[in-house]
Structure 1
Amino acid sequence: METLFVSREARLKRRENTLAIVFNGKTKWFPVEKIRHIVLLSESNMNSSLLCLCGANSVRISVFDYYGYFKGAFEPVGQNPSGRVKLEQARTILDAREKMLIAKEIVLGAAHNILANLLYYRYRGKKELDTQIKEMRRLMSHIDKADDTATLMGVEGNLRQLYYSGWKLIDPKLDFGKRIRRPPNNPVNCLISFMNQLVYTVVRHETFKTHLDETLSFLHSPGTGRSSLSLDLSEPFKPVLADMLIFRMARKGMMHENWFQEHDGVCLLTETGRRHVAEQFSVRLEEMSDGRSYRERIYREALKIERHILGVAEYESYKRKA
């Protein structure tokens, strides 16, 4: 078990060299050497003894707030720092041409995967998607023409707007109107925001296994308090991990009213909703795609960036089969 999602109010404690999680007075035991990432999705308590255990075993703890947003993490001491990689990463970002090559490939991967999602349903009889598919293909030709990241992200934003307009054609339950993020205003917007945060958290964890610096990014502007490189690498994976899972849950009638609480135009996941979504996401993360799990593909994506900046091989983003 690489990642443990804790979706209920809990107390985490240490008993010798074992991790214990207490839910409603009941204790579950986990061998800490088999866990590398704990994601706390609800209010939880722990002490420094538990943190020392996690630090000694290279276990990261990611924390989400009440609204379903990643807010911070306990980070174990870096295991494999590399000054050379950081210098080459910085050099690549300062070279406008090299930076744009990687940024364009990231957007191309994201664009390919959202188009592949619509094609998946078009091949299964949803002919109404032809308009979105045709226009998205036209817009994708603008990616290579972009001169800067602002223009590139503008193209990506237009592609996503077209993509989201096709959701209601896949299933009426996916008709969520306008994309509203902070805070989401309906169940589908809520699921998109929450799952995108889960993707970001997992991408961040997998990127830490490489020598890359999380603050040095190619598409998103480096900022304070966030891993902008993980925002970059999340783009090709949000369509296949988050969006396809939302489609699956909607079409199979898996979403229930008790998953959500709505008031004053704000929609949030309940504890029940977080638990079910986290369970489905953890299964999706380990599903195999061409012989590798999506988790492994995320890790390999980060390695491909590292190999590119070291001049070993040109970066090619992950693109699912359409």
Structure 2
Amino acid sequence: METLFISREARLSRRENTLIVSMDGQKRFFPIEKIRHIVMLGQGRFNSALLCLCGAHGVRVSVFDYYGYYKGSFEPKPQNPSGRVVKEQARCILDDEMRLETAREIVRGAWRNMRANLAYYQYRGLNRLDPVLEHMDRMAEKIETAPSIPKLMGAEGVLHARYFAAWPIVDPRLDFAPRTRRPPNNPINCLISFLNQLTYTAVRHEVFKTHLHETLSWLHSPGTGRSSLSLDLAEPFKPILADNLIFRLVRKNILSDNWFSQQDKVCLLTETGRRHAAEHFSTRLEERYKGKSYREWIYREAIALERSVMGLTPYESFKRKA
């Protein structure tokens, strides 16, 4: 088990090299060697002894708040830091041309995977998607000709707007417009925000396994207090891990009213909703594509970027076929 999602109120403790999770009067035991990432989605209690165990075995603990937003992590000590990689990473980002080309490839991956989500239904006879896909193809030309990072992000924003507007064509229950984030105002907006946060957390965990520095990024502006590199690398995977999963949950009638709490135009996931959404996301993360899980593909994406930084191979973002 790579990642352990804990969605209920729980107490975490240790017994030698065993993680003990106490919930609802029951205890579950996990060998710490089998875990690399603990995601706390509900209220949790743990002490320094548990954190020392996690630190000794390289286990990250990510914490979400009541509203389903990622708030921070306990970060184990880097296992194999490399100043040389960070130096080369900074050099690539300070070179405007190199930065723009890498950012462009990230957006290419996001575009291709958004398009694949819709093309899946077009190939199955949903001809109303034809003009949408034609428009997205035209937007691909603007991605290729964008002269700067702000222009590239503007093109990506238009692309996302057209992509989201096509969701009701796939299924009327996917109509959530407009996109609202803080706070979300309906179940679909709520799921998008929550699953995007889980995707970001999964990407951040895989980036930690490389020598890359998490605050040095290409598409998003490097900043303070966030892993902007993980925001970059999450872009190609959000259509696969978050959007595609939402399509599945809606079209297979898996969603239930008790997943959500709606008051005063604010929609939040309940504990039940967070638990089920996290379970489905965990399953999706381990689904295999071309012989590898999507979690493994995220790691390969980060490694590909590191190899590009070191001048070994050109970076190519992950692109899934429809």
TM range (shorter): over 0.9
Name the SS for the 1:296 alignment partner: helix
Could you tell me which amino acid in structure 1 is paired with residue 28 of structure 2? K
Q: What does residue 152 of structure 1 align with?
A: 152
Report the Cα offset of residue 126 of structure 1: 1.2
Q: What does residue 218 of structure 1 align with?
A: 218
CA distance in 2, matches of 1:202, 1:40: 13
Matches within 5 A, 1:124-203: 124-203=124-203
Matches within 5 A, 1:9-24: 9-24=9-24
Q: What does residue 113 of structure 2 align with?
A: 113
Could you tell me which amino acid in structure 2 is paired with residue 32 of structure 1? I
Matches within 5 A, 1:1-322: 1-322=1-322
Could you tell me which amino acid in structure 2 is paired with residue 90 of structure 1? A
CA distance in 2, matches of 1:198, 1:80: 25
Name the SS for the 2:212 alignment partner: coil
Q: How many residues align?
A: 322
Report the Cα offset of residue 175 of structure 1: 0.7
Report the Cα offset of residue 131 of structure 1: 1.7
Q: Deviations over 1:36-62 (max 9, x none)?
A: 000000111000010001111110000
Could you tell me which amino acid in structure 2 is paired with residue 157 of structure 1? G
CA distance in 2, matches of 1:139, 1:74: 40
Report the Cα offset of residue 128 of structure 1: 1.1
Report the Cα offset of residue 35 of structure 1: 0.1
Report the Cα offset of residue 127 of structure 1: 1.1
Could you tell me which amino acid in structure 2 is paired with residue 218 of structure 1? W
Could you tell me which amino acid in structure 2 is paired with residue 286 of structure 1? E
CA distance in 1, matches of 2:15, 2:309: 43
CA distance in 1, matches of 2:223, 2:131: 37
Report the Cα offset of residue 87 of structure 1: 0.3
Report the Cα offset of residue 8 of structure 1: 0.4
Report the Cα offset of residue 262 of structure 1: 0.4
Name the SS for the 1:141 alignment partner: helix
Could you tell me which amino acid in structure 2 is paired with residue 101 of structure 1? E
Could you tell me which amino acid in structure 2 is paired with residue 20 of structure 1? I
Report the Cα offset of residue 14 of structure 1: 0.9
Name the SS for the 1:29 alignment partner: strand
CA distance in 2, matches of 1:142, 1:169: 25
Identity of aligned residues (%): 63
Report the Cα offset of residue 16 of structure 1: 1.7
Could you tell me which amino acid in structure 1 is paired with residue 139 of structure 2? L
Report the Cα offset of residue 229 of structure 1: 0.2
Q: TM (normalized to structure 1)? A: 0.99
Q: RMSD over aligned Cα, in angstroms?
A: 0.6
CA distance in 2, matches of 1:168, 1:225: 36
Name the SS for the 1:81 alignment partner: coil
Q: Deviations over 1:166-215 (max 9, x none)?
A: 10011111011211011100000000000000000000000000000000
User: Which consecutive residues of structure 1, in runs of 5 or more, have no partner in the other structure?
Assistant: none
Name the SS for the 2:143 alignment partner: coil
Could you tell me which amino acid in structure 1 is paired with residue 9 of structure 2? E
Name the SS for the 1:143 alignment partner: helix
Q: TM (normalized to structure 2)? A: 0.99
Name the SS for the 1:142 alignment partner: helix
Name the SS for the 1:104 alignment partner: helix
CA distance in 2, matches of 1:9, 1:224: 30
Q: Deviations over 1:100-153 (max 9, x none)?
A: 110000001000110111100111121111121111110111111111111101
